[in-house]
Amino acid sequence: MGDDAADSNLVATQGIHHLGLTVSHLAESATFFTETLGWREVRRVPEYPAIFVSDGTMMVTLWQVAEAGSSQSFDHQHNVGLHHVAFEVASRAALESVFARVKASGARIEFAPELLREGPAMHMMCYEPSGIRVEFIWLPE
């Protein structure tokens, strides 16, 4: 990615304002973000229903699927759509802390913190309660 002025004139966006995720277990998914990750609940829309959560930098909107009993889990290897969502953490210690919190929550863990390719970046992958793949990544300077 280039940093020169010519490139910046072509960019029409300024990052993610929010990410909307359809979930099958709204309360449990919200709890994953608020209690496990320490995010705050921004608001609720009971008539949809939806719960908006934020880490102070970005917002995730959790939308309850219309019929949880008849919904299908997303297969990130065979369907077009969200492969995973990745959240950056500030340090290796923060990554280890997130891993411990996610593990204690009972969420399914795909893999514990490990080097990303040859490193030095590290990441881990888990699934929030509705089955969405979530990555946590540390990118040392």
- DSSP H or E run through 60: strand 59-64
pLDDT average, residue stretch 113-130: 96
| Domain extent for 106 | 16-66+82-138
What region does 38 belong to: left with phi over 0, alpha with psi -120 to 50, or beta?
left
Task: Determine the pLDDT at residue 4.
Answer: 56
Residue 131 lies in a domain: yes
| Confidence at residue 2, expressed as pLDDT on a 0 to 100 scale | 52
- Element spanning 28, H or E: helix 26-31
The per-residue pLDDT for 82 is 84
Q: ∠13-14-16 over CA atoms, to 5°? A: 100
Asked whether residue 5 is assigned to any structural domain, the reply reads no
pTM for the predicted model, two decimal places: 0.87
CATH number at residue 87: 3.10.180.10
Confirm whether 58 is domain-assigned. Answer: yes
CA 28, 29, 33, 36 dihedral sign is positive
In a domain, 31, yes or no: yes
User: Does any domain span residue 7?
Assistant: no
Report whether pLDDT(58) > 70: yes
Q: How confident is the model at residue 105 (pLDDT cuts 50, 70, 90)?
A: very high
